[in-house]
Amino acid sequence: KAGVTQTPRYLIKTRGQQVTLSCSPISGHRSVSWYQQTPGQGLQFLFEYFSETQRNKGNFPGRFSGRQFSNSRSEMNVSTLELGDSALYLCASSFGRDRTDTQYFGPGTRLTVL
């Protein structure tokens, strides 16, 4: 069974640009969650999508947005990039149906903002 895949693996952008990251979940999983990992703030929850609807949201500015498609693939968009957005962005997928749910992570996208 294929794992969670994320594309691209590495990105370099400049301040003010926007970026889109993609996450393909494990087959059969309908929930996709996004996390930001930085040395200073650690791992922080961005948002979760389930069946094309945002189900949970973390404490991030509106520049961070996401969506989910009917095949459960998810994209995350960051507009007007800032230097502080440089981070490893991880997505995780799960069935999302009940309390026994367990998340499985992708390899991450390393975003560098210059």
Partner 1 sequence: AQTVTQSQPEMSVQEAETVTLSCTYDTSESDYYLFWYKQPPSRQMILVIRQEAYKQQNATENRFSVNFQKAAKSFSLKISDSQLGDAAMYFCAYRSASGSWGKLQFGAGTQVVVTP
The minimum distance between CB 64 and partner 1, in angstroms, equals 15
Q: How far apart are alpha carbons 59 and 73 in whole angstroms?
A: 23
Which pair of structure tokens corresponds to residue 44?
């922080």
Query: Residue 72 contacts by C-beta under 8 Å, 6 or more apart in sequence?
Result: 24, 25, 29, 30, 32, 93
Q: Total number of residues binding partner 1 (CB under 8 A)?
A: 29
Q: Rule CB under 8 A: say whether 108 interacts with partner 1.
A: yes
In whole angstroms, how close is the CB of 80 to partner 1 at the nearest point?
25
Instruction: Check residue 102 for interaction with partner 1 (CB under 8 A).
Output: yes
Residue from 12, 43, 83, 114 in contact with partner 1 (CB under 8 A) = 43
Shortest distance, position 88 Cβ to partner 1, whole Å: 6
What binding mask, one character per residue, do residues 1-30 give for partner 1 by CB under 8 A, x or -? Answer: ------------------------------
Torsional class of 108: left (φ above 0), alpha (ψ -120 to 50), beta (otherwise): left
**Interaction of residue 89 with partner 1, rule CB under 8 A:** no
Cα torsion 80, 81, 85, 90 to 10°: value is 80
